[in-house]
Amino acid sequence: MEQKKCIYDIAVVGAGPAGAVFVKELATARPDLAIVLIDGQTETSAKPCGGLLAPDAQKLLARFDLVLPKSVLEDPQIFAVETIDIEQKIVRYYQRHYLNMDRYAFDRWLLSLVPSHVTVRRGRCKRLQKEGALYNVFVKCEEEETQLRAKAIVGADGGGSLVRRTFFHPMRVQYVAIQEWFESKGQRLPYYSCIFDAKTSDSCSWTIHKGSYVIYGGAFQKQGCREAFDAQKKRLEAFLGNTFGETVKTEACLVSSPRVMKDFCTGKDGVFLLGEAAGFISASSFEGLSSAMYSGKMLADAFAQSTALSDVQKRYRAATRALKRKLRRKSIKRILLCTPFIRKAIMKSGIQSIRPYAKK
């Protein structure tokens, strides 16, 4: 095993939006800090994600004075979500203002904005341990394992966060997100839909068109998740009167669903959590890009304002209070959307829905 003699000020585990924004902002404000960013993502191991950029995330990019390159965007751009309740046989359309994009390309673009003096280490973080005042980070790339040492750890490694599992209590409620890709061959499938089916899941699923592909995915309870996914797909195909076709690829990962304030964990003792690793994700829609980037910015600001790790933690905890309250309200919204009789009443009322013109 290679012994890395350099001691970094901060080791960041995860180079997605949370980690990339944090490093970009902090490395610009504090070029004196030695930061290593551990990037374990590849195109084939990309996280299952609808790849929709919500208005809050768009607003943050605008505040950064950033413009999204065309190469990140995907066809088609969509203006409404078709909400389907399979069990109740109700369909409603609601206007949305998302940008349809290639999630992997978006992550790579954000990573490209990280200053060149930051060390980016390719590989997956396999384990972590505290040794005295320092942290050991073991990174595996192909067959080689490297040991890095750092004064502080930042976990930006998603719902299945190794950093959170190693040092803190795990998220209480998690689902398995499963997503399949299909070739788009003219099937009459919703461009963008939110699907509810009380028989197979107490959460939501989705369909999204991405260029020449159609994605169908959903969040399911861990026990029997694959069987529930397959059963819901069959029920959805029957409801739509069409099939998805042959599966091109399948993706899966853990996704968090924060329900109470204690589900949010920002860290302590030189270990910090960002994005979904901290519980910063919407329990109602699983939208986490905006919270990931906002938390990255907040922690970068905290580090830029203080050199004492305990003070950084206090500043970061204070800065995220409003975000925690906002996401706690999303858990209440989840109850309204995912309770069948309440959802039926909302959809039947047609409140805030739009009525599409009849197709000729």
pLDDT in tens, 157-184: 999 999 999 999 999 999 999 999 999 9
User: How far apart, in whole angstroms, are the C-alpha atoms of residue 70 and residue 77?
Assistant: 12
CB 217 within 8 A of CB 288: no
Asked whether residue 253 is domain-assigned, the answer is no
3-class DSSP state of 99 = strand
CATH number at residue 156: 3.50.50.60
Kindly state the DSSP code that residue 157 receives in the 8-state scheme.
-
At residue 360, the pLDDT reads 60
At residue 187, the pLDDT reads 87
- 46 — pLDDT class (breaks 50, 70, 90): low
CB 101 within 8 A of CB 53: yes
CB 197 within 8 A of CB 235: yes
More confident residue, 216 or 49: 216
Asked whether residue 92 is domain-assigned, the answer is no
CA 323 centroid distance within chain? 15
Residue 169 has, within 13 A of its CA and on its CB side, a CA count of: 7
Asked whether residue 50 is domain-assigned, the answer is no
At residue 49, the pLDDT reads 84
User: How far apart, in whole angstroms, are the C-alpha atoms of residue 66 and residue 45?
Assistant: 27
For residue 2, pLDDT over 70 is answered with no
CB 201 within 8 A of CB 219: yes
Sign of CA dihedral 160, 144, 129, 305: negative
At residue 142, the pLDDT reads 83
For residue 207, pLDDT over 90 is answered with yes
Look up residue 108 and give its amino acid: R
Closest CA to 257 of 303, 201, 299, 312: 201
Structure tokens at 117: 């003096």
Asked whether residue 299 is domain-assigned, the answer is yes
Kindly state the DSSP code that residue 18 receives in the 8-state scheme.
H
Domain hosting 10: range is 2-45+103-171+262-333
Structure tokens at 107: 């992550």
For residue 319, pLDDT over 80 is answered with yes
User: How far apart, in whole angstroms, are the C-alpha atoms of residue 98 and residue 100?
Assistant: 6
Distances (CA, A) of 31 to 14, 21, 26, 58, 175: 20, 15, 8, 27, 39
User: How far apart, in whole angstroms, are the C-alpha atoms of residue 284 and residue 329?
Assistant: 9
% of the chain beyond a pLDDT of 70: 97
Find the mean pLDDT for residues 30-50: 86
pLDDT tens for each residue of 51-87: 999 999 999 999 999 999 999 999 999 999 999 999 9
pLDDT tens for each residue of 244-283: 999 999 999 999 999 999 999 999 999 999 999 999 999 9
Look up residue 87 and give its amino acid: E
Mean confidence (pLDDT) of the chain: 94
Q: How many structural domains are present in the chain?
A: 1
Asked whether residue 157 is domain-assigned, the answer is yes
Asked whether residue 287 is domain-assigned, the answer is yes
String of DSSP letters for 218-240: EEE-STTHHHHHHHHHHHHHHHH
CB 346 within 8 A of CB 340: no
Asked whether residue 357 is domain-assigned, the answer is no
CA 73 centroid distance within chain? 18
3-class DSSP state of 242 = coil
Residue ranges of alpha helices (H) inside 31-178 are: 55-63, 103-112, 162-167
pLDDT tens for each residue of 97-140: 999 999 999 999 999 999 999 999 999 999 999 999 999 999 99
The pTM (predicted TM-score) of the whole model is 0.94
Asked whether residue 84 is domain-assigned, the answer is no
Structure tokens at 232: 């819901």
At residue 353, the pLDDT reads 96
Closest CA to 273 of 8, 19, 103: 19
Structure tokens at 71: 């190469």
Measured between its terminal Cα atoms, the distance across the chain in Å is 67
At residue 3, the pLDDT reads 44
3-class DSSP state of 109 = helix
